[in-house]
Amino acid sequence: MEPMDIDKQQVEKAVSALQLLIKKTKPDTDFLDNPEKILLQFTFKKVPQLKNKTIKLNLPNGVATDSQFVSLFVKDLDRKSREHEDTVFHYKELLSRHNIQEISEIIPLKALKTMYKPYEAKRNLSNSFNLHLTDERIAHLLPSLLGKHFYGRKRHPVQVNLTVKDLKKEINRALNNSRCVISGRGSSCTAYVAHSKQTVVQITENVMSAAQQIAQSIPGGAANIRSFHIKTEKSVSLPVYASLDSAKDVKLPKVEKKREMIEPEEVTTVMKGKVRVFPTGEVHIVTEESEMKRKRKLEKIGQTTRLKVKRRKPDGPKVKATASRKGQKASLTVLQKSGETLKKQKKVAQTKSKTLTSKTAKTGKTKDKA
């Protein structure tokens, strides 16, 4: 694919203006001096038919900070045991051997299934950490365990390989690089590419690199990009790139949509109840009675579809339908004739029965006179 034609001087001007804006709007009571995230916002000409596609962004300057909190989801050592303290101790030793101190908390799968099973616990877990890492061996199990608070808010855990020899390099790669999630629901997306404590040159390099990688990874390529802007989480967006070409020239591949089954999640505010959260934002409370009624309805629908409709056999001789119209007409005429002959036979039988009844009645009268 062709690279994006972005003016580097325009990016530097926008970055310097954004840094001045951050300094002016920063409150005097902020004693912690936490860095603000700098986001790269881009819009599509045509919205791609994707669902939660993750684009990995390899940035030249790392975005990791000392003040961030990172969690790590790991695999259970013993599946039969109910306790997970041995698993936490094992992975803490593994990280200390490789001199890794950036991980704030280790969470095994059993802890997710027990401690973080309620609805509120998952929400608090999502908000408590800046970044979530996971062992790539259990990544396919997390969507059903974490739910909408992670995947609905584009807080997907980053996969890491915990079996590699150079584990520190693997963890640093996940912490310093970024990623962009394309939901396919709207024409705008954002990616975390830098922070306010970096220099203008470092931020510019990250923005240029991220823009090129995004343009090469999305459906339609660079021709499907309408604009690029940079901003913080609370500031206005500053333009970096804009395209005035028509969206008719963009060609997107067709993707078959698969219907997702929404499973209910547990909630503590309702006794013996669960909550089903839909992608539109609607929340339905699911009780045992409503779930039983739903299952009965599904069973009835399944039974009705299984019933076979018994068709009445046509009277007269059977004629096989042919592919040609002449054969079809011939078969119809034979069926019509057979039906007509049966009607005639019925009429003849009725007339015979009437004549017999009349004769018997006459003979009975003559005997009475005699």
Here the tokens at position 100 are: 């890794």
Distance CA 159, CA 174 (A): 8
Task: Give the whole-angstrom CA distance, residue 237 versus residue 230.
Answer: 6
- Say if 169 falls within a structural domain: yes
What residues make up the domain containing 183? 8-249
Q: With cut-offs at 50, 70 and 90, classify the pLDDT of residue 321.
A: very low
CB neighbours of residue 228 within 10 Å = 26
Q: What's the rounded mean pLDDT across residues 294-303?
A: 71
Do 37 and 155 belong together in one domain?
A: yes
Q: What is the pLDDT of residue 320?
A: 44
Distance of CA 334 to the CA centre of its chain: 58
Assess whether 293 and 209 both reside in one domain.
Answer: no
Confidence of residue 333 (pLDDT cuts 50, 70, 90): low
Residue type, 70: V
pLDDT, position 300: 72
Confidence (pLDDT) at 261: 60
User: Of 95 and 336, which is predicted with more confidence?
Assistant: 95
Inside any domain, residue 351: no
pLDDT of residue 142: 87
Flag whether 204 is in a domain: yes
- The reply to whether 169 and 87 lie within a common domain is yes
Name the pLDDT band for 206 (thresholds 50, 70, 90): very high
pLDDT band at residue 62, thresholds of 50, 70 and 90? Answer: confident
Quick one: how far is CA 93 from the chain centroid?
Answer: 36
- Whether residues 159 and 299 share a domain: the answer is no
Length of the chain: 370
Distance from the first to the final alpha carbon of the chain: 117
Per-residue pLDDT at 317: 47
Is 166 found in the same domain as 129?
Answer: yes
Is 340 among the domain residues?
Answer: no
Q: Mark whether 116 and 50 lie in a shared domain.
A: yes
In this prediction, residue 39 carries a pLDDT of 92
What CATH number has the domain bearing residue 113?
A: 3.30.190.20
For the cut 90, the answer to whether the pLDDT of residue 220 exceeds it is: no
If asked whether residues 50 and 127 sit together in one domain, one would say yes
pLDDT at 203: 93
79 within some domain: yes
* Count of structural domains, the chain: 2
pLDDT at 67: 80
Q: Percent of the chain having pLDDT more than 90?
A: 17
Indicate whether 168 belongs to any domain: yes
- Answer yes or no: do 167 and 288 share one domain: no
How far apart CA 22 and CA 24 sit, in angstroms, is 6
pLDDT over 60 at 69, yes or no: yes
Check whether residue 169 and residue 209 sit in a common domain.
Answer: yes
Same structural domain, 296 and 167 = no
Query: For residue 6, what pLDDT is reported?
Result: 87
Asked whether the whole model's pTM tops 0.95, one would answer no
Categorize the per-residue pLDDT at 313 as very low, low, confident or very high, splitting at 50, 70 and 90: very low
- Give the torsion sign (CA, 112, 114, 117, 118): negative
Q: Is residue 324 part of a domain?
A: no
State whether 131 and 79 are in the same domain.
yes
* Per-residue pLDDT tens digits for 33-58: 778 889 999 999 888 888 778 888 99
Co-location of 237 and 279 in the same domain: no
Flag whether 323 is in a domain: no
| pLDDT at residue 231 tops 80 | yes
